[in-house]
Amino acid sequence: MNFLRFNRSMLDPFLILSCIIPFALYMATLAPSVTFFDSGEFLTAAASLGSAHSPGYPLFLMYAKPFTWIPLGNIAFRINVATAVSSSLACLVVYVLTTYLLKQESLLENERFNRIAVKLAGLAAALTFSATPRLWLQSNHDKPYPLLAFITAVIFFLLLKWRDSYINGSDRPSYIYVCTFLAGMAMAVHQTVVLLLPAWILMIMITDWRMIKRVRELVLATAFAMMGFSIQLYLPLRATRNPLLNWGDSKTIDQFLWHFLRRGYPSEPHTRDMALLWAQIKAFNVPREFTWLGAAMLILGLVYAWKNNRAFFAAYLTAVIVFLLVIAGYFNTLLDLIFLTEEFFTPLYLLSAVLIGLGLFSLLGYAVRNARIPDQIGTAVYGLCTVLFFSLPTALCAVNYYENDQHNNYIAFDYATNSLRSLPQNAVMFTWGDSGAFPLWYLQGVERMREDLDLPHTPHLVFDWYLDSMPRLFADSNLRKFDVVSSGPETALRIAVTESLGVRPVYIDFSTRYSVEFKEYVPVQKGIVYRVRKVNDPVGLPDNSIWDNYSSRGIFDKISFLDLDTGKAIMIYANSYIESGEFLLGINRISDGLLMLQRAEQISPEMKFAADQIRMRFGLAM
């Protein structure tokens, strides 16, 4: 009984709340199924314990896999829960870091008030981080970045523990060894972890610069880092089992390096003007994430850190500078791809939330030092402290809830399902964009829908490992005989279509239809996909009956969450309705054609001009 009483006394309700409240928030707004962008690919790789796009993300996939065993919802929902859990744990570590940095603080002689004030500051920092639009967006579906933020925050905490033990005369290099192990392991979540290495090294050097002279410690730290990095062996080991999604097929050293070093993503050099540079720098945007009030609290937190823990102060600024120098300076990301780099800053936003917690505590300190607070602190004082600390996270939650609520987001699921419904038995459909392909991979590979189909992704037709993954279609393909890598995916697509046409029904998705110029073939619309026929074949008419079989959740009745790819999917529906309406008017089915145009306008008011032009061409009143 004494043991049980001891454990209860050690429980920190604020620590528990720092995890439970964010988790409840994320579960309330969690996506119920697959979403766009990388979602379908991550889901398929995690469910099959395969390999995702380069560099593979093995630790994230292994972390997410046990969640697929939860007897609740579909596989996509379960893996989305995994991300909600990792985000909640990241918020918990914000609490731990904030309270640890404030552990020696004393505002008044009332110890109970001091203790509660520190815990309130930590909880406020955790909840502020939880309600930022970036983390919230990443928490609602399968993303590796919250897991990376959690691991990196643990490393910062361990380095602070090591620093304090060293200052107190007890050098414990075991903390460093655990940190290097975690850093090596974090490479299997996302490679941007290397951008934090200068900050961590600086914390160590500020504390004990002689560490660089200790060969034994350096060798052991390197060994532990390699032990953590060895989790990358997952990629070649799993590749030997030919999992459902085996991106890169890392069975050999050459293929592993190709996969790990991202050699499948060649980039063309481009010029950069000041407008592009400013857009790249703005990818890290504290006011957007925390509001200007949060940015002001961050500045107060930096002042506090400068006075009380300069190692943490220097580490934060170093991390920000290195991230911007590499991501904005070296990567030189194209304007339409900057949104990808915004994902990378999650660990920096976590540290920013810690500083905001320090800033809020500093503000409280200024208030109590200039107020006449009695020794016996009443409920009113605690109430005012609560308002001070939680106004910011409450405001962030209120502002960001609508835009991040995905609990009813079935658009990607329905888009993929509608595409599959459009295809006849044993058909082949070529896709182009990732968001058009990945939900199909999930539905077919994980949910086992329409396994009779082949769904090749056109940009991957230039890779042998991808052709090997579809032997039914490409076992003896001419794609293996030509240099399709040099000629590009469009040439590969034409070769593949030529081989399949006449053997199986051939279809392309909307993105392929408008990404490639077909001269020798004619695309014939069937809802949101297109049947491919030869120019000299008998004329085929579009099939508009398929629209009646479509599910359109979130298309006509707008949902709150609309990211870039979800918006594109909605525009695909709108454009497809416009195209169908124009065809129906052309064959004198006036009422049906006008209905299609009305649906296009209902989906996207921007289509009104195009619809009016079509009506005018057919002499119909607007």
Give how far the C-alpha of residue 467 lies from the chain's centroid of Cα atoms, to the nearest Å: 28
Rounded Cα distance between 233 and 239, Å, is 10
CB 199 within 8 A of CB 318: yes
Structure tokens at 121: 């500051």
pLDDT of 427 reads 95
CB 173 within 8 A of CB 129: no
pLDDT of 544 reads 82
Q: Give the distance between the most distant pair of CA atoms in the chain.
A: 93
The tens digit of pLDDT for each residue in 260-306 reads 998 887 666 778 888 888 888 999 999 999 999 999 999 999 999 99
Q: In which element (H, E) is residue 580 found?
A: helix 564-586
Rounded Cα distance between 500 and 429, Å, is 10
Report residue 153: phi and psi, to 5°: -70, -40
The tens digit of pLDDT for each residue in 388-409 reads 889 999 999 999 998 899 998 9
Structure tokens at 74: 């579909």
Please name which of 366, 268, 351, 270 lies closest in space to residue 311, comparing C-alpha atoms.
351
pLDDT of residue 383 exceeding 80, the answer is no
- What is the DSSP secondary-structure string of 267-293? -------HHHHHHHHTTS-HHHHHHHH
The tens digit of pLDDT for each residue in 155-178 reads 999 999 999 999 988 888 899 999
Local structure of residue 209 (DSSP, 8 states): G
Q: In which element (H, E) is residue 429 found?
A: strand 428-430
CB 29 within 8 A of CB 404: yes
Radius of gyration for the chain, computed over Cα atoms and rounded to the nearest angstrom: 28
Residue 430 β-bridge partners: 508
pLDDT of residue 80 exceeding 90, the answer is yes
In the block, residue with structure tokens 């959690």 = 150
Look up the pTM and report it. Answer: 0.93
The tens digit of pLDDT for each residue in 551-576 reads 988 888 766 667 778 888 999 999 99
